[in-house]
Amino acid sequence: MFGLEKQDSRLLIVVAILTMCAPFILNPFPAESALAQFNAGYPDLMQRFVIFGIFAIGFNILFGLTGYLSFGHAAFLGIGSYSAVWMFKLLSYNVVPALILSVITAGLFAVVIGYISLRRSGIYFSILTLAFAQMSYNMAYSVLTPLTNGETGLQVYSNDPQYLKGDGPDVTHLFGFEMRAASELNIGGWTFDFSIGYYLSALIMLASFYLAIRIFRSPFGLMLRAIKANQTRLNYTGISTRPYTLAAFVISGMYAGLAGGLLACMDPLAGAERMQWTASGEVVLMTILGGVGTLLGPILGAGFIKYAENIFSKINENVLHSWFSFLPDGLESAVVWFFARFVGEGWHMTLGLMFMLIVIFLPGGLIEGGQRIGRLFKGKSASNNPPAE
């Protein structure tokens, strides 16, 4: 299917089914139940799952295939957002021109940054990309204020030209279909939201995932794996690796620009904080948590981190008291105090501990964990069905 092998086709179909059915899968608990706190099936969060999935897929093409660790990919995320908002200001709220410009602009910046940074490898390459990202962040706050609007952030105003707006809506849209438009389905105690913005982002993520599969399985992808395995040996054979690594860097940057453009389509506001080093570190964590060099790992890692950020951070002491109200007063207070260290403002503690456990016991990330569970069940089924003598 689509030029893919059977195994890759099955993987793409599974990802497509899970993505399309996300409003049901991510709302396992009734809306009025105490466990509804853990539901993640609302449009804003679902969009972030797939958008940062795109970001992580692109980063994995560089880091997972070539081994080049970039600490500056947030620069392309921010550039994509700024480009999209400028399209909203100059043309209209239609998201198509905005996304196209986001990808092109991020790609052009990636050519320049990659051409310079890829003159070095290892930690020196990582430091160079981090330096470029911090330069972009500081320039967006100060030197380039006419283009970025500094601390306030770039946004659309009523006096902006919007030459192609016509009678179109005053919100981001896809040829008249508003990105924020959503329909609600109530079944018993469950509420499911279906958003145009989510499904557009999901379809783009599936296309990005398909492209990543083709890259992984192509001769170009094999060359990138060879660079990761032993770049020096390739150089000795007379093969110049620079064009391949630069191409991977540019493709990865374009993925990041696309993700930044989609973030602006969710909310037409672009700020320099998207270029900060913490955003670059976040995509590194996503890729490592999911599984570096795997196809599905970056998507799982992005969903894992965004779930923790948006769900665990909302659990405050009042919620914890409602959960443990059946305990005696003194014990309830002690239990609430303990768990409050890991949720709410302390959710980073939970994420840090999980990251440590995964790195120590599952170096291959969540994908390795799933593979181990699969082998465990296969072993049990084999032991329950011994071969006939």
Q: What is the mean pLDDT of residues 322-328?
A: 86
Q: What is the pLDDT of residue 352?
A: 85
**95, exposed or middle or buried, with CB in 10 Å at 0-12, 13-18, 19+?**
buried
Q: What is the mean pLDDT of residues 4-11?
A: 89
Q: Is the predicted pLDDT of residue 57 greater than 70, yes or no?
A: yes
In sequence order, what are the residues at sequence separation of 6 or more whose Cβ sits closer than 8 angstroms to the Cβ of residue 262?
47, 51, 54, 99, 201, 204
- The label of the residue with tokens 């509804």 reads 36
Q: What is the pLDDT of residue 263?
A: 95
Instruction: Provide the β-strand partners of residue 192.
Output: 185
Q: What is the pLDDT of residue 228?
A: 92
Distance from C-alpha of 145 to C-alpha of 137, rounded to nearest angstrom? 11
Handedness of CA 200, 202, 205, 207 (dihedral sign): negative
Distance from C-alpha of 109 to C-alpha of 276, rounded to nearest angstrom? 16
Q: What are phi and psi of 17, to 5 degrees?
A: -65, -45
In sequence order, what are the residues at sequence separation of 6 or more whose Cβ sits closer than 8 angstroms to the Cβ of residue 360?
none
Share of the chain above pLDDT 70, in %: 97
How confident is the model over 198-245, as pLDDT tens digits? 999 999 999 999 999 999 999 999 999 999 998 888 888 888 899 999
Q: What is the pLDDT of residue 1?
A: 64
Q: What is the mean pLDDT of residues 286-299?
A: 91
* CA neighbor of 216 nearest in space, from 255, 259, 257, 248: 248
Distance from C-alpha of 248 to C-alpha of 93, rounded to nearest angstrom? 31
Contact, 117 vs 128, CB < 8 A?
Answer: yes
Angle at 366 between CA 209 and CA 339, to 5 degrees: 125
Average pLDDT over the chain reads 89
* CA neighbor of 268 nearest in space, from 153, 163, 175: 153
Q: What is the mean pLDDT of residues 65-81?
A: 93
pTM, two decimals, is 0.92
Among 24-38, 70-84, 110-124, 297-311, name the one with the lowest average pLDDT.
24-38
Q: What is the mean pLDDT of residues 246-262?
A: 96
Q: Is the predicted pLDDT of residue 124 greater than 80, yes or no?
A: yes
Tell me the angle at which helices 297-311 and 365-384 cross, rounded to the nearest 10 degrees.
110
Handedness of CA 360, 229, 301, 130 (dihedral sign): positive
Q: What is the pLDDT of residue 123?
A: 92
pLDDT-based confidence at residue 383 (cuts at 50, 70, 90):
low
Contact, 295 vs 315, CB < 8 A?
Answer: no
Q: Which domains does the chain have, with CATH numbers?
A: 6-314 (1.10.3470), 316-389 (no CATH)
Q: What is the pLDDT of residue 165?
A: 84
